[in-house]
Amino acid sequence: MRTKVAIIGAGPAGLLLGRLLDKAGIETVILERRSQDYVLGRIRAGVLEQGTVELLDRADVSERLHADGLVHDGVELCFDGDKHRFNFRELIGRTVTVYGQTEVTRDLMQARDDSGAKTIYEAENVSLHDFDSDKPKVRYLKDGVEHELACDFIAGCDGYHGVARASVPAGSIRTFERVYPFGWLGILVDKPPVAEELIYAHHERGFALCSMRSPTRSRYYVQVPADEQVQEWSDDRFWDELRRRVDEETADNLVTGPSIEKSIAPLRSFVAEPLRFGRLFLAGDAAHIVPPTGAKGLNLAASDVGALAEAFIAFYADRSSAGIDGYSARVLSRIWKAERFSWWMTSILHTFPNKDAFSRRIQRAEFDYLRSSEAAARSLAENYTGLPM
Ligand code: RFL
Ligand code: PHB
């Protein structure tokens, strides 16, 4: 089999890249290790930057997003029970949209099915070959049979644990990492959200987040130690802990119910450099990880593949390699700014074991500054709603 761009991974990065190339008449094949249902069953991100929405508009996959997505003008930050709203629309004239990653994925899968572009699910033992030449290949097993896919380019969109980044010779790649000593325990519940907008709460017992997926489905998180076991958390224990970390009004208004999903996600910052190795390109979580506090992971994946699609389109239009040559430097500059913002949001909102009283006062001062300075609030608004693509 032969294609122009072999895409590894059918997460949001791989599917959106496939869609943007498909719209430009560039053939792709996506190889995904899991089944379609498994990919759709993962509960992850919920907040889309305005630029991500615009990219999904250009990809012509945003009809449901505009019908069902919730446009939010701002968020609330709550510090030891003290709550302050940041109105992004007033501060910088931009908004975010709450629409689950699962739904973005579903819309992209549907568009790909409709267009007839090929996705091979449950592709096992995917391996990358000859990407230092102009004839790269990908091999994989499907139903026990070995296949080879010849291509012009390989896009590694296979997430943090994928095969693409692991295929690069160790001497050609540098990685930067910070692991945090805590994770997020999240639950999904079919009850109306506690408030119209997201509430990010700092409390000495730990961080908490009140989020949502729709007017009838809520998503809540509490910070837990990195080695916590999800079985230790009954729904009742979760609700009690959440109530203790938010302000009184929020605690009183919480509509609780049985969880329909409960899981723990570790927090990590990670960047690989560079993101191009001959004819192999990394994008999305394969290239970088951010802690979820800034709601940047999915959005960064989208901006990476927006740039990568432009580079491939320019290459096929006029054999210009300027876009593919510049891809890594171009996206890394934006990636590091999102890393900075996500690290900063994580630092001010979480409780760090072994942090001294001085550090806690600094966290408090960050909150007081944000609340009292329009310049500081505008900086938060600019980063949260997304820096220019
Ligand atoms: P994905 O989604 O991990 O998809 C990678 C795909 O590659 C497949 N794969 C392979 N396929 C073939 N061969 C192999 N060897 C393979 N190895 C892996 C995998 O099965 C998978 O289908 O990466 P992608 O596409 O780069 O997308 C990244 C986003 O999923 C991620 O950044 C976000 O979910 C992060 N994130 C959030 N991002 C936001 O922008 N806003 C948020 O509000 C937000 N909240 C979150 C989050 C992530 C969370 N968790 C669980 C990590 C909340 C949570 C709790
Ligand atoms: C979510 O709704 O899952 C969510 C929202 C905001 C974040 C992280 C996760 O910063």
Q: What is the pLDDT of residues 134-161, one digit of tens each?
A: 999 999 999 999 999 999 999 999 999 9
110 located within any domain: yes
Query: Does residue 278 form part of some domain?
Result: yes
Asked whether 299 lines ligand 1 (CB < 6 A), one says: yes
Neighbours of 317 (CB within 10 A): 11
pLDDT the model gives residue 44: 86
Task: Say if 302 falls within a structural domain.
Answer: yes
One domain for residues 143 and 172? yes
Question: pLDDT-based confidence at 266, cuts 50/70/90?
Answer: very high
Going by CA atoms, what residue is nearest to atom 4 of ligand 1?
11
Q: What is the mean pLDDT of residues 13-31?
A: 98
Q: What is the CATH number of the domain that holds 136?
A: 3.50.50.60
Note whether 340 and 356 are same-domain residues.
no
Lowest mean pLDDT, pick from 76-80, 121-125, 308-312, 318-322: 318-322
> For the chain, how far is it from start to end, CA to CA, in angstroms?
34
337 has pLDDT over 90: yes
Reported as a pLDDT band with limits 50, 70 and 90, residue 355 is: confident
Shared domain check, 335 and 277: yes
Answer yes or no: do 120 and 239 share one domain.
Answer: no
| Ligand 2 pocket mutation, candidates 103, 194, 207, 221, criterion most atoms within 8 A of CB | 221
Chain-wide mean pLDDT for the chain? Answer: 97
Q: Is the CB of 296 under 6 A from ligand 1?
A: yes
Q: What is the pLDDT of residue 346?
A: 98
Higher pLDDT, 354 or 177: 177
Is 260's pLDDT higher than 90? yes
Residue 41 lies in a domain: yes
Same domain, 168 and 274: yes
Range of the domain at 302: 5-71+97-177+268-346
CATH of the domain at 228: 3.30.9.10
Mean pLDDT across the stretch 89-97?
98
Does any domain span residue 324?
Answer: yes
pTM for this predicted structure: 0.97
Average pLDDT over residues 58-79: 98
Question: Closest Cα to atom 4, ligand 2: which residue?
Answer: 46
Number of domains in the chain: 2
